[in-house]
Homo-oligomer: A and B are copies of this chain.
């Protein structure tokens, strides 16, 4: 019964012609969202949607290219409005959006580090940040660097949260900290109770707040002649003179 090997092994009813990139991408996105990168493989994906793995690679030239598209798609889910005159709230808006993105898709957020500048959604978001920095009154040089640095923080924080670096202290880690030299690591041990109830959202907000304050101070320092704050609408109009 085991060896009636003649059977052509059922030629696997060829998938209907209409398999579209979009369908594959959707399934891939779903698989990635639930399984994470380690649990993701083109073979699993093929099995999930009932097509040959190589079909996937025919539409997306490589696994990496597919991951890039997945990152794209996740970025497209963030919806921040157009830039406003209020650069501070614009920065906060973008910050919230990125943190939300990390929480929504924790298993794939790290892709934004690997594939930077993935597509149009990216540009729409970064435009808001760039404009905010210019509107704050920073010279181009500083604006560009601080904007990218701001981005870096957003992605880094999101990654830290999703990778567990920002989680409240667990019992094992507490043990480890308590075992440290109480003199050399006095501050560490003093903060143990605080780590146990760490509010990462507050940490995030406070950091953004501090950063914004720092930028304000920098601008004020650079323009000592005008004690008053610069008028943001003027700065907006100043773009592309």
Contacts and interface: CB of A to CB of B under 8 A. Distances in A.
Contacts of A131: 186-187
Interface in A143-168: 143-153, 155-157, 159-160, 163-166
Interface stretch (A8-16, A53-61, A198-206): A198-206
A164 B116 contact: yes
Nearest to A241: B190
Interface string A185-216: 11111110111001110111011011111110
Contacts of A147: 191
Total copies of this chain within the assembly: 2
Interface residues of A, number: 73
Contacts of A134: 187, 190-191
Max chain B Cβ within 10 angstroms of own Cβ: one of A114, A191, A206: A191
A239 B187 CA distance: 7
Contacts of A146: 203, 206-207, 210
A126 interface: yes
A130 interface: yes
Interface of A: 82-83, 110, 113-114, 116-117, 123-124, 126-127, 130-131, 133-134, 140-153, 155-157, 159-160, 163-166, 173, 176-177, 180, 182, 184-191, 193-195, 198-200, 202-204, 206-207, 209-215, 217-218, 239-240
